[in-house]
Amino acid sequence: MTAPASPGSDRATQLYTAAVDLFMANGYRDVDVAEIAAAAGASHGTFYNYFRNKRDVLTAIQATTEAQIIAAVSAPDGVPPPSTRDEFVDQVRDRIACAIAYFVENAEFMAFVTLTAAGVDDDALAATLTTHQRAAERFTRLFEHGREHGWVHPDLDLDVAGQATVSAIITSVLPALVDGADNVDVEEATALCAKYLLNGMRGLADPR
């Protein structure tokens, strides 16, 4: 399986994709630049026209993945903020569903990004935590909108609620990351995750 998206020119894309495949197959530390270049059908020197080293590729992988995760937990273009409680519940559920689906549909790749890449060094761990925080902020903003309209309990810490939502999503998809995509049903995981989170906000109707 290759990464769900990759950066830049055709040659950069080939190098990026080759690196992802090798990292997933052999482990990040056991892959060198020469192997990446050969797998992409490029010369060793050509690699350095696009990336400084293999660590630079990992940075690109994490940046690309962050952009995709943030897109998954954000409102789609053209979708207005919810104007009713039911719309609010639906939007929370839809964003959770999109995030869970992204992880499950790219389970092998996301296992590498989440469970392996984050442990490469301190910067990789920091990038992973930053992605989680930015995703949590998207939920926090939605919850703030809900509280302004009386759909969320006024005493709820919305920063914590956003972080809890991301944690619940990660917990929901862990079986897919560890044992394969077949171990998580997206619809069922979404329903359980949304019910747990929305009921915890108090004052919301049962999220069905």
Residue 177 lies in a domain: yes
Give tens-digit pLDDT for 20-43: 999 999 999 999 999 999 999 999
Q: Which domain CATH number covers 22?
A: 1.10.10.60
Q: Please, how many CA atoms are within 13 Å of residue 87, restricted to the half-sphere of its CB? A: 11
As given in the structure block, the two tokens for residue 90 are 């639906």
Q: Which residue has the tokens 């761990």?
A: 125
The answer to whether residue 2 scores a pLDDT higher than 70 is: no
Question: Average pLDDT of 186-203?
Answer: 88
65 and 43 housed in the same domain: no
Compute the distance between CA of residue 164 and CA of residue 161 in angstroms, rounded to an integer.
Answer: 5
The answer to whether residue 3 scores a pLDDT higher than 60 is: no
Nearest to 96 by CA among 151, 34, 166: 166
Residue 168 lies in a domain: yes
Whether 64 and 19 have beta carbons less than 8 Å apart is answered as: no
Residue 207 lies in a domain: no
145 and 94 housed in the same domain: yes
65 and 146 housed in the same domain: yes
Q: Which residue has the tokens 């990446």?
A: 36
Compute the distance between CA of residue 145 and CA of residue 161 in angstroms, rounded to an integer.
Answer: 13
86 and 171 housed in the same domain: yes
Residue 18 lies in a domain: yes
Compute the distance between CA of residue 181 and CA of residue 104 in angstroms, rounded to an integer.
Answer: 5
145 and 186 housed in the same domain: yes
**Distance between the two ends of the chain, CA-based, in angstroms?**
35
Among residues 16, 33, 51, which one ends one of the domains? 51
Give tens-digit pLDDT for 102-140: 999 999 999 999 999 999 999 999 999 999 999 999 999
Compute the distance between CA of residue 208 and CA of residue 205 in angstroms, rounded to an integer.
Answer: 8
The larger pLDDT score, comparing residue 201 to residue 170, is at: 170
75 and 158 housed in the same domain: yes
78 and 146 housed in the same domain: yes
153 and 77 housed in the same domain: yes
Domain count, the chain: 2
Residue 208 lies in a domain: no
* Average pLDDT across the chain, whole number: 93
For the entire predicted model, the pTM comes to 0.90
Among residues 51, 73, 91, which one ends one of the domains? 51
Residue 193 lies in a domain: yes
Give tens-digit pLDDT for 43-77: 999 999 999 999 999 999 999 999 999 999 999 99
Return all residues near 153 (Cβ < 8 A) that are at least 6 apart.
Answer: 147, 201, 202, 203
For residue 13, the enclosing domain spans 1-51
